[in-house]
């Protein structure tokens, strides 16, 4: 692939000379006479390398560099400074420039520096990609339960079929994003981009231009034209997170795009065709949203050509412990600790917790425990009060069937909070106001019981 170089210099002769020379050297070259124009070109079609003069009218090269966040974007910058301006050069390097060159320079020198920078750039990209791939393959999805083995097998199957559209559903924290990445990095698209966007985080107009791109002047802030995610991810995967929150008008636009297999940038006339795999995810029940008119049926069926359902952590049996051990290892490395494992008692508590926040919650619980001073094992006292409180209520083994006879649920509904309030009062009544006994009756630590008393205004 031809590498792209952008020359930003206000001197026409320098631009022209560099352009002629670099094209001869086999590069694709664009040029801009000001930092503003340079920025527009970079946003529109990011080059591999920028030759950036510092002394420019209005915005200086350094100021442009500060705006660019080049390391994140993987753009190599070579700063051109006036002779003797070492300070500028140092600043430029601090802001992510790869190297600098002083004026006057000769073409041989510049060719050498460019070659070196592009080599370093491509190495950096490869390392980044390898690291991503390594940390995102199916093996990174921890779990041995039947449910999770099925999910992993399904991911490998989908990864082999090239273009299938996938919808990942599961409660919050079940690993939907992890699965989307594993799918991408296990597929033939692995060396192409994986682009994610959260549909709930952006207002609809912005979301449309982020996805489809826009032409210059399409709206007030559109000072330059810009590629959208679908164009940038060409050949790879686009991950639409929290698709359940997508506005109806955007849903219509996305559906049109999926049906026609082309789209137009906002304010554009040209039909654009790309080759991306669309993976979406939601923690909402889309079927319910569809029934209630908040999600389009036709779009739902387009998106979920293959559905992946991620089970809640509470339904994954021993995976809770497998994951807990995995996170202990992870935080041992991360925080230079040497925690050996979890005590049997703490294991029972983890197994019986309800995990409303799923794997994310478990990861947080382990991280929090490992901040504490732990001799060798995580003990119940290292677990957060929420988890300890949840123990009696959710422990499957200690559950005694409760008769609900006599309980009336009014038509207006009843919250669990109301039920808890009534239970706390009833237990106190039965224990003649003795809080310790009342807490025992509800199989709850006294602290937790008193917290509820406070919450319900009893004390
Ligand atoms: N099976 C798993 N093995 C290892 N780590 C996991 C697993 N599932 C989830 N995680 C970790 O738990 C955290 C939450 O996962 P992720 O962000 O993928 O969840 P999510 O379903 O997208 O959540 P949300 O609905 O809130 O966006 C991440 O740190 C992720 O790496
Ligand atoms: Mg997510």
Residue 390: per-residue pLDDT: 63
Residue 384: per-residue pLDDT: 84
Which ligand has its closest atom nearest to the C-alpha of 311? 1
* Ligand 1 centre distance from Cα of residue 359 (Å): 6
Region 291-308: what's the mean pLDDT?
Answer: 92
pLDDT digits (tens, 9 = 90+) for 58-111: 899 999 999 888 877 889 999 998 877 888 889 999 999 999 999 888 999 999
Residue 392: per-residue pLDDT: 36
Region 211-228: what's the mean pLDDT?
Answer: 88
% of the chain exceeding 90 in pLDDT:
61
Residue 401: per-residue pLDDT: 57
* Ligand 1 centre distance from Cα of residue 361 (Å): 9
Which ligand has its closest atom nearest to the C-alpha of 319? 1
* Ligand 2 centre distance from Cα of residue 160 (Å): 24
Residue 394: per-residue pLDDT: 36
Residue 393: per-residue pLDDT: 33
Asked: is 4-132 a CATH 3.40.50.720 domain? The reply is: no
Best probe residue, ligand 1, of 243, 359, 364, 366 (max atoms within 8 Å of C-beta): 359
* Ligand 2 centre distance from Cα of residue 382 (Å): 28
Which distant-in-sequence residues (6+ apart) come within 8 Å of 194 by Cβ? 132, 180, 181, 184, 185, 233, 236, 237, 239
Q: In CATH, what number does 314-394 get?
A: 1.10.8.60
Residue nearest atom 25 of ligand 1, based on CA coordinates: 172
Residue 208: per-residue pLDDT: 93
Residue nearest atom 30 of ligand 1, based on CA coordinates: 175
Which ligand has its closest atom nearest to the C-alpha of 364? 1
pLDDT digits (tens, 9 = 90+) for 147-193: 999 999 999 999 988 868 999 999 999 999 999 999 999 998 988 99
For ligand 2, a single-atom ion, the residues with CB < 5 A are 177
Match domain 401-459 to its CATH number in 3.90.110.10, 2.60.420.10, 1.10.10.60, 3.40.50.300.
1.10.10.60
* Ligand 2 centre distance from Cα of residue 213 (Å): 23
Q: With bands split at pLDDT 50, 70 and 90, how would you rate the model's confidence at 136?
A: low
Residue 129: per-residue pLDDT: 76
Residue 134: per-residue pLDDT: 63
Region 220-247: what's the mean pLDDT?
Answer: 91
Q: With bands split at pLDDT 50, 70 and 90, how would you rate the model's confidence at 274?
A: very high
Chain position carrying tokens 């137009």:
264
Comparing 406 with 413, the larger pLDDT belongs to 413
* Ligand 1 centre distance from Cα of residue 186 (Å): 18
Residue 65: per-residue pLDDT: 94
The atom number, within ligand 1, closest to the CA of 148 reads 1
pLDDT digits (tens, 9 = 90+) for 384-410: 887 887 643 333 333 455 667 777 788
Phi, psi (5° rounding) for residue 96? 105, 0
* Ligand 2 centre distance from Cα of residue 83 (Å): 50
Give 354-423 as a DSSP string: --TTHHHHHHHHHHHHHHS--SSEE-GGGS-HHHHHHHHHH-STT------TT----TT---HHHHHHHH
The atom number, within ligand 1, closest to the CA of 319 reads 1
Are 138-311 and 401-459 equal in CATH topology? no
Ligand 1 site, CB within 6 A: 141-143, 170, 172-178, 283, 323, 359-360, 363
- In angstroms, the CA 325 to CA 341 distance is 7
Residue 459: per-residue pLDDT: 86
Best probe residue, ligand 1, of 177, 182, 356 (max atoms within 8 Å of C-beta): 177
Angle at 332 between CA 327 and CA 333, to 5 degrees: 100
Residue 35: per-residue pLDDT: 95
Q: Is the peptide bond before 335 cis (omega within 30 degrees of 0)?
A: no
pLDDT digits (tens, 9 = 90+) for 415-438: 877 888 889 999 998 888 888 888
Task: Map out the domains of the chain as residue ranges.
Answer: 4-132, 138-311, 314-394, 401-459
Residue 170: per-residue pLDDT: 95
Question: Fold for domain 138-311?
Answer: Rossmann fold (3.40.50)
The atom number, within ligand 1, closest to the CA of 170 reads 21
Residue nearest atom 29 of ligand 1, based on CA coordinates: 360
Lowest mean pLDDT, pick from 315-319, 334-338, 348-352, 371-375: 371-375
Lowest mean pLDDT, pick from 26-30, 132-136, 173-177: 132-136
CA 234 to chain centre: 19
Best probe residue, ligand 1, of 175, 184, 245 (max atoms within 8 Å of C-beta): 175
Cβ-count burial of 314 within 10 angstroms (0-12 exposed, 13-18 middle, 19+ buried)?
middle
Q: Model-level pTM greater than 0.75?
A: no
Contact 68, 36 (CB under 8 A): no
* Ligand 2 centre distance from Cα of residue 375 (Å): 34
- For residue 244, pLDDT over 80 is answered with yes
Residue nearest atom 8 of ligand 1, based on CA coordinates: 175
Which ligand has its closest atom nearest to the C-alpha of 359? 1
* Ligand 2 centre distance from Cα of residue 198 (Å): 8
The atom number, within ligand 1, closest to the CA of 310 reads 21
Residue 167: per-residue pLDDT: 96
Residue 48: per-residue pLDDT: 95
- In angstroms, the CA 322 to CA 325 distance is 5
């Amino acid at each position: 692939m031809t590498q792209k170089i952008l020359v930003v210099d206000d001197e026409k002769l320098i631009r022209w000379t560099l352009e002629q020379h670099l094209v001869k050297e086999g590069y694709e070259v664009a040029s801009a006479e000001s930092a503003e124009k340079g920025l527009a070109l970079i946003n529109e079609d990011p080059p591999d390398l920028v030759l950036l003069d510092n002394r420019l009218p209005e915005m200086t090269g350094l100021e442009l560099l500060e705006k660019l966040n080049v390391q994140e974007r993987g753009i190599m910058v070579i700063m051109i400074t006036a002779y003797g301006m070492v300070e500028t050069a140092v600043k430029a390097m601090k802001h992510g420039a790869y190297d600098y060159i002083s004026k006057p320079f000769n073409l041989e020198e510049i060719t050498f520096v460019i070659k070196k920078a592009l080599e370093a750039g491509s190495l950096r990209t490869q390392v980044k990609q390898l690291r991503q791939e390594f940390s995102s393959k199916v093996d990174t999805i921890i779990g041995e339960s039947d449910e999770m083995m099925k999910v992993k097998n399904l991911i490998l199957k989908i990864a082999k079929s090239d273009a299938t559209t996938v919808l990942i559903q599961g409660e919050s924290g079940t690993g939907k994003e992890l699965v989307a990445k594993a799918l991408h990095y296990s597929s033939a698209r692995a060396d192409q981009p994986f682009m994610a966007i959260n549909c709930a985080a952006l207002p609809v107009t912005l979301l449309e231009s982020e996805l489809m791109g826009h032409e210059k002047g399409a709206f007030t802030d559109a000072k330059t034209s810009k590629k959208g995610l679908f164009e940038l991810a060409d050949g790879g995967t686009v991950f639409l997170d929290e698709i359940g929150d997508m506005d109806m008008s955007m849903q219509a636009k996305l559906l049109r795009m999926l049906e026609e297999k082309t789209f137009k940038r906002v304010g554009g006339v040209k039909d654009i065709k790309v080759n991306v795999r669309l993976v979406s995810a939601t923690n909402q029940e889309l079927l319910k949203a569809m029934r209630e008119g908040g999600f389009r049926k036709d779009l739902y069926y387009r998106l979920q050509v293959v559905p992946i359902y991620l089970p809640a952590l509470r339904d994954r049996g021993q995976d809770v412990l497998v994951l807990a051990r995995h996170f202990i290892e992870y935080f041992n490395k991360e925080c230079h600790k040497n925690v050996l494992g979890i005590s049997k008692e703490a294991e029972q508590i983890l197994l019986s917790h309800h995990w409303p926040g799923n794997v994310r919650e478990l990861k947080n619980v382990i991280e929090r425990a490992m901040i504490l001073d732990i001799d060798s094992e995580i003990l119940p006292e290292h677990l957060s009060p929420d988890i300890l409180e949840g123990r009696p209520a959710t422990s499957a083994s200690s559950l005694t069937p409760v008769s609900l006879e006599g309980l009336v649920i009014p038509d207006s509904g009843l919250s669990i909070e109301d039920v808890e309030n009534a239970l706390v009062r009833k237990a106190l009544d039965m224990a003649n106001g003795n809080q310790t006994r009342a807490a025992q009756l509800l199989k709850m630590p006294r602290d937790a019981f008193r917290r509820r008393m406070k919450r319900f205004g009893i004390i």
